[in-house]
Structure 1
Amino acid sequence: MKISAKYIVCASAALLLASCDLDKNLEGQYVSGDQKEDIIGNRPNLITAEVNALASTLNVFGTISDDANTYHNDFGVAAVSLAYEQGGQDMPSTTSGYNWFGTALNYSDRLYTSTLDELIWKTFYNHMKAANNVLTLTEGSEDPSMLIYRGQALAARAYDYLNLAQTYQFTYAGHESALCVPIVLETMSDEDLQNNPRATVQEVYDQIMSDLNQAIELLDGYDNGTNKDQIDIYVAYGLRARANLLMQNWAEAAADAERAMAGGSPYSRDDVSKPSFNSASANSWLWGVMISPDNDVVTTGIINWPSHLCSLTGNGYTTLTGAYRFITNTLYDWIPSTDIRKQWFLSPENTSSLIDGQTVSGESVVDYFGLTPYVNVKFGPYQDVLGNTTNSQDWALMRVEEMILIKAEGEAMSGNVAAAKSTLEDFVKTYRDPEYTCTANSAQELQDEIWMQRRVELWGEGFSLFDILRLKKPIERKGTNYEAIVQYNLPAESQIMIYRIPQCEMETNQGISDDQNNPAAEQPTV
């Protein structure tokens, strides 16, 4: 039985306010060398708190909300990932007011005054602030723990730049001299920050690679174990694999991805034969946001990622209002019937082996939640309890499966087609589809096949738009199950695909003039 929207539970919580004032100094002041020694020697808990902020600032309620306005898409990096997915071509959803990512769906969030634009900007720059705080506090230390913290902070900052660079400018290849985003370092003063121009794409990627190279050196031998919210050597290699893929350093991307793969193992076919992708305890996860039931995004009730993406929660916009996330019928049809990933979505006949035969309160799962064809059942509820009203599922930031696909693409595009086919076939046959055979025979055909595999394997995890931009693909929604009002077809590298520098930054950073912002693009029409 479909649950009425009137039963949505939303608890109040204190808002964590943030601004585009990118003050990089701990507690608003610079820390001198003597002060740093005092902190390291006498206040280690402060450093630990700053390190913990590297994880916590990715999972925050209240980045753009305030006492006057509460935005139900204001829950950190998982919300940013959903915005990227809604801006692609693989996640149809309602265009009603219950879809808090509707502006990404119709591209009206590309206005520099949009709240989603502000959320993306602040999410990554606030995370970068935490990284720079750690770098300030640990500079010059030879303590082994401090060196690990420095490595984590450098990798975290590179992660932020990787996301920002792909959001606010077209992909690296062919756009190296284009204006990107301001570079913010721990050594910068308030005056520097208030007059900080956009760096070029090349300059941003140079900073990314410098940070990652240092991080890998500092994190050598460090494994995060069960603390998947901590960056370790495998995550650092994975981030550099992403960067090398974007820069078309194909062989280097493959090598780094293989090194990252040593940190985990893929979900087995049995693992993903039920709703999953909800716990950082999975061996597949190299890095993730670990979310506890007492976290702000959980205690809000519905301002969290399961509320907007999980089709099996007992308390969310999905199940309580029908604002589900679907796969496109065309991508669904592409998945072979022997591939378990086809079951991550309901068939046109409204069936999936992941939930068939299961009941909630005496009703079938489909009837209880009001599920319809093509809706996803990929993401499991908290503690795998169908209808659980607690939305405390973890959020994946990096899985080993992504690294396998990067390795295959890097091999293909560096000229080793046979190795790439072997890498791809071994993964898909072993873990997803025992009948799979890769029919691609050239590097380009393999890259296209791997893109399709990424679209299925990583569906819903925030990669859709970035892959379209990286591969310079068009967006094609016409003739699919997108609502007619958003069935856009957009040529590759349409200006509307990337965001504008948000108003909050334009008003506080004198280093970026209006004519240096990305051009305004008209909202597309069908």
Structure 2
Amino acid sequence: MKTNKIIIGLLAIGTLFTGCAEDFLESKSTEYATEEVINDFARQDAEAAMGPLMEGVYSKLFEYRDSHDDFGLRAIMMASDVMTDDIALATSNWFIYDNQNMNKTQNYRRTRSTWGYTYEAIRGCNQVIVGLSGIEEADLTDAAKDLLGQAYAVRGMLYFNLINFYQLPYETAKDKPGVPIYTHEEELQGREPVSKVYDLIINDLETGYAYLEGLGMDQTKMNEYAAAGILARVLAFKTDHPNQWDEVAKYAAIAGSVGMMSSEELAAFRFNSINNKEVLFGAPIDGQTTTFYASFMSHMDPWGPGYAGALGCYKMIADDLYAEMSDSDVRKAWFAAEDTYVNPENKEESRVISKYTQIKKFVDVGGFQSDYIYLRASEFVLLEAEARYLSGDQSSARTLLNKLLANRYTDEYQSSNSGQALLDEIYFQKRVECWGEGVRLFDIKRRNETMDRNGTENHHSSAMVIPTIKGFDEQYIFQIPLVELDANTEIGPGDQNP
């Protein structure tokens, strides 16, 4: 075997390796253990040690930090949604600065939190990768492959989020400064070009997928289907990738292959559990891991005791998007068709939930113990449909679209559209299907669409809401947080984003 580099990773968790190795040697009756035995033990011990490190990474993804709109990845997904034209806020409360596109400047919490938690999670992935890198490929067990696959794929996902919050999309910014890259070194790094960051992202996701392929799906951790889905997202941005849309379709098809809810299942599902056939990756939340009021359901569920319920901080579908939905679409029942009394038996003392408020898609199981869903298969059925269309295969695109619609409409509606009308319908259905799931902003950015609130009446929580932003507009870039500029000598004031 190679010179064992496992020790590097194990140093990150103290003296665990040393203590176990000494116990092992003391248990032998022979005077010396062979190098083969020692290396085999070191491998087993490394796997045992890296598992908790990877669990720490996942914990970081739903960690409460310093405010009630700051609870890891799901908070950032929610913030990105309210930056678009699909979600309107009923009141000026948490997430209002994201809604106004103001929460991106260097001294604001959103950019500080996004940068900080992401690089902390990346550091954990690096420790797992380095900690297992001394094992020859032929000697990797399925457990070690699983851990390596998770670490590479999660790292790729995290860098993908970073590069698309802190710079314009690849198509227009591939030669511009991106974000620092850390893979193992601790020395401070400056901003690398966007193209180099994408090279790392794609390599990480391809490597991660290769390790995870065939190991099945555990929704509580990164798995082959989730890795394939994220890779499809990434390749949709990388406009100069060879056979771009064929490759997007390939990986989106893998992610979307796990199955789709029927219309009845969709109507009953409250997006509060990862135990659903469409969920690819998420976080199980229970009484030990809940962040209570600082949680997704606190801000989304209008029936519960959180911000959406007790304070009426409702999250509403934009009225123009709602108006486009067919009455036969079962998803329309996700939203209040009219003002709704919480207690209709006693209207005088009842709270009113406003028309267009989300009322059924996201409902807490109780006690803020709803799981977080990060990725879902239906997104990738629609991404594959888009990719098939853009690769010139309209027939396959329509078939994929109708596969989804067959499980979303009660009147057996099927699309017969072609050309631009077909592509527009795919885009519209994705906006409806993925409402509130942290998907819309990145689609706006990569397609250079216009986020347009001019046609809506319920984007009225503040006069400061920006009516239109183009996807390639610098208004959609976060500034590097001031704490990073102060601490990192490799990034100067002149390296700041607009």
3-state secondary structure, aligned to 2:268: coil
In the other structure, the counterpart of 2:68 is: 72
Change (3 A) 1:257 1:275: closer
Measured against aligned partners, the alpha-carbon deviations of 1:1-35 in whole angstroms (never above 9, x if no partner) come to xxxxxxxxxxxxxxxxxxxxxx9972599x99x99
In the other structure, the counterpart of 1:5 is: none
Equivalent residue runs for 1:451-466 within 5 Å: 451-466=427-442
Change (3 A) 1:337 1:36: farther
Change (3 A) 1:42 1:467: closer
Equivalent residue runs for 1:425-444 within 5 Å: 425-432=402-409, 434-442=411-419, 444=420
2-structure distance, mates of 1:124, 1:36: 33
2-structure distance, mates of 1:295, 1:502: 28
Change (3 A) 1:28 1:105: farther
1-structure distance, mates of 2:278, 2:434: 12
2:339 partner amino acid: N
3-state secondary structure, aligned to 1:182: coil
Which structure is larger by alpha-carbon Rg, 1 or 2? 2
Whether the 8 Å CA contact 2:329–2:408 is kept in 1: the answer is no
Measured against aligned partners, the alpha-carbon deviations of 1:453-478 in whole angstroms (never above 9, x if no partner) come to 11111111111211111110112112
2-structure distance, mates of 1:369, 1:451: 35
Give me the TM-score of the superposition, normalised by structure 1. Answer: 0.82
Q: 1:450 aligns with which of 415, 423, 426?
A: 426
Measured against aligned partners, the alpha-carbon deviations of 1:94-114 in whole angstroms (never above 9, x if no partner) come to 452xx2211101111121110
2-structure distance, mates of 1:114, 1:513: 18
Q: 1:511 aligns with which of 490, 493, 496?
A: 490
In the other structure, the counterpart of 2:380 is: 403
| 501-510 vs 282-291, which moves further | 501-510
Post-superposition, which runs of at least 4 consecutive aligned residues in structure 1 deviate over 6 A? 34-38
Deviation at 1:429, TM superposition (A): 2.1
Unmatched runs of 5 consecutive residues or more in structure 2 = 1-8, 19-34
1:334 partner amino acid: E
Q: 2:339 aligns with which of 347, 350, 353?
A: 350
Equivalent residue runs for 1:150-165 within 5 Å: 150-165=148-163
Deviation at 1:433, TM superposition (A): 5.1
In the other structure, the counterpart of 1:116 is: 110
In the other structure, the counterpart of 1:293 is: 287
Whether the 8 Å CA contact 2:100–2:465 is kept in 1: the answer is no
Measured against aligned partners, the alpha-carbon deviations of 1:58-99 in whole angstroms (never above 9, x if no partner) come to 11112xx2xxxxx11121111111110111111111452xx2
Change (3 A) 1:168 1:445: farther
In the other structure, the counterpart of 1:88 is: 84
Whether the 8 Å CA contact 1:24–1:132 is kept in 2: the answer is no
3-state secondary structure, aligned to 1:110: coil
In the other structure, the counterpart of 1:341 is: 331
In the other structure, the counterpart of 1:238 is: 229
Equivalent residue runs for 1:25-104 within 5 Å: 26-27=12-13, 40-42=43-45, 44-62=47-65, 65=66, 71-96=67-92, 99-104=93-98
Change (3 A) 1:332 1:197: same
1-structure distance, mates of 2:75, 2:198: 25
Deviation at 1:272, TM superposition (A): 2.2
1:382 partner amino acid: D
3-state secondary structure, aligned to 1:425: helix
Question: How many matched pairs?
Answer: 461
**Which structure is higher in helix share?**
2
Equivalent residue runs for 1:338-417 within 5 Å: 338-347=328-337, 349-350=338-339, 368-383=350-365, 388=366, 390-417=367-394
1:482 aligns with 2:459: yes
3-state secondary structure, aligned to 1:499: coil
Unmatched runs of 5 consecutive residues or more in structure 1 = 1-22, 66-70, 520-526
Change (3 A) 1:514 1:95: farther
Whether the 8 Å CA contact 1:409–1:446 is kept in 2: the answer is no
Whether the 8 Å CA contact 2:99–2:465 is kept in 1: the answer is no
1:107 aligns with 2:98: no
1:511 partner amino acid: E
Deviation at 1:303, TM superposition (A): 1.0
Whether the 8 Å CA contact 2:271–2:363 is kept in 1: the answer is no
In the other structure, the counterpart of 2:23 is: none
Q: 1:303 aligns with which of 271, 285, 294?
A: 294
In the other structure, the counterpart of 2:3 is: none
Whether the 8 Å CA contact 2:176–2:194 is kept in 1: the answer is yes
Deviation at 1:39, TM superposition (A): 5.6
Whether the 8 Å CA contact 2:290–2:368 is kept in 1: the answer is no
1-structure distance, mates of 2:302, 2:148: 39
Percent identical pairs in the alignment equals: 26
Measured against aligned partners, the alpha-carbon deviations of 1:114-172 in whole angstroms (never above 9, x if no partner) come to 00111111222122112111112111223311121111100000000111111111111
Deviation at 1:496, TM superposition (A): 1.2
Whether the 8 Å CA contact 2:271–2:373 is kept in 1: the answer is yes
Deviation at 1:258, TM superposition (A): 0.9
In the other structure, the counterpart of 1:256 is: 251
2:140 partner amino acid: D
2-structure distance, mates of 1:265, 1:367: 44
1:136 aligns with 2:130: yes
Whether the 8 Å CA contact 2:386–2:423 is kept in 1: the answer is yes
Whether the 8 Å CA contact 1:280–1:396 is kept in 2: the answer is yes
In the other structure, the counterpart of 2:30 is: none
Deviation at 1:491, TM superposition (A): 4.0
Equivalent residue runs for 1:153-192 within 5 Å: 153-186=151-184, 188=185, 190=186, 192=187
2-structure distance, mates of 1:511, 1:367: 59
Change (3 A) 1:273 1:463: same
3-state secondary structure, aligned to 2:259: coil
In the other structure, the counterpart of 1:265 is: 259
Deviation at 1:213, TM superposition (A): 1.4
2-structure distance, mates of 1:426, 1:150: 34
Whether the 8 Å CA contact 1:223–1:232 is kept in 2: the answer is yes
CA RMSD of aligned residues (A): 2.7
Deviation at 1:441, TM superposition (A): 1.8
Change (3 A) 1:221 1:100: same
Deviation at 1:379, TM superposition (A): 3.2
1:328 aligns with 2:318: yes
Change (3 A) 1:367 1:417: farther
2-structure distance, mates of 1:28, 1:502: 31
1-structure distance, mates of 2:79, 2:487: 25
1:221 aligns with 2:198: no
Give me the TM-score of the superposition, normalised by structure 2. Answer: 0.86
Whether the 8 Å CA contact 1:212–1:240 is kept in 2: the answer is yes
Whether the 8 Å CA contact 2:156–2:202 is kept in 1: the answer is yes
Change (3 A) 1:54 1:368: farther
1:53 partner amino acid: G
